[in-house]
């Protein structure tokens, strides 16, 4: 099963688990199997090999942190009510201090929920909750779909540690585009959502691809290239994400085909 399929299943499972106060491994597995069937991926997954431990652990941690924050918020609200009633400035200052601490904790918790741990870019959860609403864009913008070239070759020949470093390096390059948000869509696929014009976005990614093409990366005695293909499309508020991604995906794969054709011609003339 591809990484993006696994990520899609995980996002769907975590979204449904929010409706339950207590999550058991049995419940997790039942929801997991249900989502696999809904996404028509049953033939790609061995049910008896599903491991829920890591995802459940993360879910429990977030659940406990959220409960603690809600408890603190409730306590501070009661103290604030009491302070206002008694005109107690000292208690109000104490409440204000605790609220600032709570807001900082909530902010960090939100970052944890929305952050891809490897690349420190945003994840699919951020995309579906902050950029979209029920598959529709919340505002106008430009979307770029990015897929690394020959990433499987890098992983297979140099190992996943090198592959992870490549993903982090590419993410940092993508973050150089101003007024934009980088989202790891799954595996070696990224989405960049920007408020810049389409022309500026295209120019940035063309320059970035050219910059990478002039570099060689080394692992021990071996050298390799890193590159990516991309597609860019404008979208308007309330446009369907699925429809826009289908278009931008085609642009990206056309670029991949052109690269393969050029490589073939180079080999023929060599």
* Tokens found for residue 156: 């297979």
For residue 188, indicate whether it is catalytic.
yes
* Tokens found for residue 89: 């400035």
Q: Which helix (H) or strand (E) holds 212?
A: helix 198-213
How far apart are alpha carbons 217 and 210 in whole angstroms?
15
| Half-sphere exposure (Cβ direction) of 121: Cα atoms closer than 13 Å | 28
How far apart are alpha carbons 20 and 84 in whole angstroms?
36
Q: Which of 5, 40, 188, 249 is catalytic?
A: 188
Q: Please, is 28 exposed, middle or buried when counting C-beta atoms within 10 Å of its C-beta (0-12, 13-18, 19+)?
A: buried
Which residue numbers are catalytic? 188
């Amino acid at each position: 099963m591809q990484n993006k399929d696994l990520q899609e299943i995980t996002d769907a499972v975590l979204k449904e688990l929010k409706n339950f106060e207590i999550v058991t491994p049995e419940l997790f597995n039942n929801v997991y199997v249900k989502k696999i069937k809904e996404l028509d991926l049953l033939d790609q997954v061995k049910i008896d090999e599903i491991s829920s431990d890591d995802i459940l652990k993360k879910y429990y941690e977030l659940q406990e942190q959220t409960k603690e924050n809600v408890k603190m918020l409730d306590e501070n609200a009661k103290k604030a009510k009491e302070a206002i009633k008694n005109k107690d400035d000292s208690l109000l200052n104490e409440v204000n201090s605790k609220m600032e601490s709570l807001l900082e904790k909530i902010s960090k918790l939100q970052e944890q929920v929305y952050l891809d741990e490897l690349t420190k870019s945003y994840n699919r959860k951020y995309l579906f909750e902050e950029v979209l609403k029920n598959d529709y864009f919340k505002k106008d913008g430009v979307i770029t779909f990015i897929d690394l070239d020959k990433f499987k070759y890098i992983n297979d020949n140099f190992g996943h540690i090198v592959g992870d470093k490549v993903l982090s390096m590419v993410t940092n390059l993508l973050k150089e585009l101003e007024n934009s948000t980088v989202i790891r869509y799954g595996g070696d696929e990224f989405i960049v959502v920007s408020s810049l014009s389409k022309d500026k976005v295209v120019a940035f990614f063309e320059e970035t691809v050219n910059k990478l093409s002039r570099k060689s990366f080394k692992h021990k005695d071996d050298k390799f290239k890193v590159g990516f293909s991309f597609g860019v499309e404008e979208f308007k508020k309330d446009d369907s994400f699925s429809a826009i991604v289908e278009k931008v995906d085609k642009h990206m794969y056309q670029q991949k085909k052109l690269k393969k054709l050029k490589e073939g011609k180079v080999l023929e003339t060599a």
